[in-house]
Structure 1
Amino acid sequence: MERIKIKDDLDFSRIIHGYWRLMEWKLSSNELINLIEEAYDLGITTVDHADIYGNFCCEEKFGEALSLKKGLREKLQIVTKCGIKFPSENRPENKSHCYDTSKEHIIKSAERSLKNFNTDYLDALLIHRVDALLNPEEVAEAFHKLKKEGKVRYFGVSNFLPSQFNMLNSYLDNELITNQVEISPLCLNAFEDGTLDLMLEKRVKPMAWSPLAGGKLFNSLDERALRVKKALNKIKEEVGARDIDEVAYAWLLMHPSKIMPIVGSGKIERIKSAVQATEILLTRDQWFEIYVASRGIDIP
C-alpha cells in the first residue's frame, strides 16, 4: 500500500477506511477489531471518523474495540471531525441543528473524542463543515491549545472551498494538512471549483468522501449515472478489473493531487476492491472517457 506523506512525522495510507456507517454494520467489538486488523493487513492504517457519526456513537464503539488489542492504536492514524451539532438523546445539550466552530466547542469535542477512542492523542482533527459564523482567531486559539497540550497532532478541514481554506490557513501557526471533500465520477466539483488546484499549489493531499457517489454508480437510474456506469463497465473490461468500483477508485487515484479515497464499507471484499484499485493504471484516454461521460458534453 502506498504511503502518502502528510508531514515529516505523519503519513497516511493511500486508501482510508471510513466509519460513518459503523453502527449500521451491527458488529460486536470482537468482530470490529477483526475488521480493523484485516484492513490493516491490507495496508490500510488510516481511519476516518466524526463526532456526529452514528448519532454520536461511532467513535465510542471504535474505541471499545481498540481497547481489546493492546498496541493497535499506535499503528493507526485516527482522523476525526467536529463542528456539527444537532438534537440527539446522546447530546441533550444540543438545542438545534447548527454549526459550531467556537473555541469552546472545538476543544470540548476534541477532548470527548479522545475519551471515546480511549487514546491520549488524535492524529488529525478536521473542521467538518464551513460555519458562516466561523471566527478564524478562535479556531486558531483552539488549535494552538490542543497542539500545545499534545492532544491533537495536526489539523485540517472538510468541505471547504479554496477561499475558505486559505482564509483559515492564514490565521494558523501550523498549516492545515488536508481538505476532505466529496469527489467521485459523479461529483466533479473539486476538479472545477479550484479545490484540487489549491491542493496542488499548497502541496496538501486531499481526502475524498463518497468516492462511489453513495452507491449511485451501482444502482441509480439517473441518465448521468447510467452514462458513467457504461464508461466504467467498458474500461473495467479493458483493464481486467473485477468490478466498476475498482475503476472508479483508480480514476481518483490517477489525479496528481494524490487523492486519498475514503472507503466506507464494513465488508472486507469491498475494502479489498479499493486496495486492488491501487494496482490499476488507467490511460489518459480512459480517464477522460469517464470525465466526459459525467459531464454529459465533450470537453471544450
Structure 2
Amino acid sequence: MPTQAPPDHAFEMSPVVAGLWRIADWELDVPARVRWIEQALELGITSFDHADIYGDYRAESLFGEALQHAPALRRRMQLVTKCGIRLRSAQRPYRLNHYDASADYVRAQVEQSLRNLRTEQLDLVLIHRPDYLMDATVLADTFASLTREGKVARWGVSNHTTGQFALLHAHHPLVTNQLELSPLHMQALDDGTLDQAQQLGLRPMIWSPLGGGRLFAGDDPQALRVRGEMEAIAARLGISLTTLAFAWILRHPSRPHPITGSGRIERLREAVAALDVTLEAEDWYAIWTASKGHPVP
C-alpha cells in the first residue's frame, strides 16, 4: 500500500541530497537497499533525488521496493523526482529522445512516479530539462491541479536558464533549479542561474559535484590542474578530495544542496563532512584558478 508523505509544512531538504540515478548499477537486494537508506538517514541525509528515466526507467521502482519493505522510512525523508524527458528504451520505442512538458505527459509521469515510489505524495517534482515547446500557462495549471489533488507538494526545474526559470516561476511558484556545478564545470557561476537563486532566496540543487568522477580519474589538462591544486589543499586541511569538492560548492552564498551519486556510504559520509568545512576565499579561488587555467581578470 502507498505510504503517506510528511505534512506539506514540514518540507525541507537536507543540506546534502542523495542521488539515485545509479541505483540500478549497485546490484543491491531489497534488504540491502533498506539498509543503505537507513545509513543515509543516520548521516542526516533525508532527501533522495530521482528521475523517471533513471536506470532505464527502473530506479524509482527499486527505491520504492525498499520503502514497501520498510514503510516507516517514508516519513523520515523527502522524495524528489523529475520528469519531462522522453528517453528511448526497449519499453518506450520513441523515434528519438525528446523533451515533453505537456500537461498529459507530466501528469502521467507524476502518477507513474507515485506508483513506482509507493507513496501518496511526492515532496518535490522538477521539470528535468527545458522543453522548447512548453506552454507556461498550461504547465502551471497542471502544477496547480496536481498540487490540489495532493499528489505533489512542491515544484521546481532542472537545467533551466534564468529566462526559462523566470517564465515558469511567474506562472507558478518554483522552489529550486537543479544545476550542474563542480570545480570542473563552473558555467553556473557566470550564466546568472546562481545569481537568480540568491536574488529569489531559492536554494539551488547541484548535480555532478565531482565532475562525473573526472575529478579523480581525468587525465586532461584541466582535470590534472584541478586535482593537483585540490590535493594540496585537502592535505593541508586534513580532509578528502570528495569532502573538499563538496565544501567548494557549499561555500557559495546561494546555499546550494549538492547531490551525491554514489552507493558507497563512505562517499556519503565524506560529502556530509563538508558541512563542517568553511573554505577560505583564497582556497576557493585557487581551485577556480586551476580550473580556468588563468588568474582572475
Q: Give the TM-score category using the shorter length.
A: over 0.9
2:5: which partner in 1? none
Q: Which residue is equivalent to 2:23?
A: 22
CA positional deviation for 1:262: 0.3
Q: What corresponds to 1:209 in structure 2? A: 207
Name the count of aligned residue pairs: 290
Give per-residue Cα distances to partners, 1:68-115, cap 9 Å, x unaligned.
Answer: 1131111110000000012222335x4431100000000000000000
1:162 and 1:195 in contact (8 A); partners too: yes
The percentage of aligned residue pairs carrying the same residue is 43
**Pair 1:49 & 2:50 matched:** yes
Q: What does residue 248 of structure 2 align with? A: 251
Structure 2 residue 198 is matched with structure 1 residue 200: yes
Q: Deviations over 1:178-225 (max 9, x none)?
A: 000100001111100001000000000000000000000000111011
* Whole-Å separation in 2 of the counterparts to 1:193 and 1:182: 12
The aligned counterpart of 1:142 is: 142
Letter in 2 for 1:232: M
Q: Secondary structure at the match of 2:278?
A: coil
How far apart, in 1, do the equivalents of 2:206 and 2:69 lie?
30
1:296 aligns with 2:289: no
**1:3 maps to what in 2?**
none
Q: Which amino acid aligns with 1:87?
A: R
| Structure 1 vs Structure 2 CA RMSD | 1.1
Correspondence for 1:73: 74
Structure 2 partner of 1:100: 100
How far residue 273 of structure 1 moved from its aligned partner, in angstroms, is: 0.6
Matched AA of 1:144: A
Is residue 190 of structure 1 aligned with residue 188 of structure 2? yes
Task: Give the letter for the 1:109 counterpart.
Answer: Q
Q: CA deviation at 1:276?
A: 1.0
- Mapped partners of 1:118, 1:271: distance in 2: 25
Partner residue, 1:151: 151
CA contact (8 A) 1:21 1:54 kept: yes
Q: Take 2:75 and 2:268, find their aligned partners in 1: how far apart are those partners? A: 22
Counterpart-to-counterpart distance in 2, 1:46 and 1:70: 16
Is residue 181 of structure 1 aligned with residue 213 of structure 2? Answer: no
TM-score, normalised by the number of residues in structure 1:
0.95
Amino acid at match of 2:62: K
1:105-152 Cα shifts (integer Å, max 9, x gaps): 000000000000110000000000011111111211110110000000
Cα offset for 1:282?
1.1
- CA offset at residue 236 of structure 1? 0.5
Q: Tell me the residue number matched to 2:115.
A: 115
1:238 deviates by 1.5
1:270 aligns with 2:267: yes
Whether the 8 Å contact between 1:181 and 1:206 is mirrored in structure 2 is yes
| Residue 91 (1) aligns with residue 88 (2) | no
Secondary structure of residue in 2 paired with 1:64: helix
Q: CA deviation at 1:260?
A: 0.7
The alignment partner of 2:105 has SS state of helix
- Displacement over 2 Å in runs of 4+: 89-92
Cα contact 1:81–1:127 (8 A) shared by 2: yes
1 CA distance for matches of 2:178 and 2:144? 21
Secondary structure at the aligned position of 1:143 is classed as helix
Any idea what SS the aligned residue of 1:96 has? coil
Measured at CA, do residues 226 and 82 of structure 1 come closer, stay the same or move farther in structure 2, by a change above 3 Å?
Answer: same
Secondary structure at 1:13's aligned position in 2? coil
SS in 2 for 1:79: strand
Q: Taking structure 2 as the reference length, what is the TM-score of the superposition?
A: 0.96
CA contact (8 A) 1:86 1:95 kept: no
Quick check: 1:227 aligned with 2:225? yes
**Structure-1 separation of matches of 2:285 and 2:99:** 37
Runs of 5+ unmatched residues, structure 1? 1-6
Shift of 1:245: 1.1
Q: 1:12 & 1:20 partners in 2: Cα distance?
A: 18
- Which secondary structure state, in structure 1, belongs to the residue aligned with residue 145 of structure 2? helix
Extract unaligned runs of 5+ from structure 2. Answer: 1-7
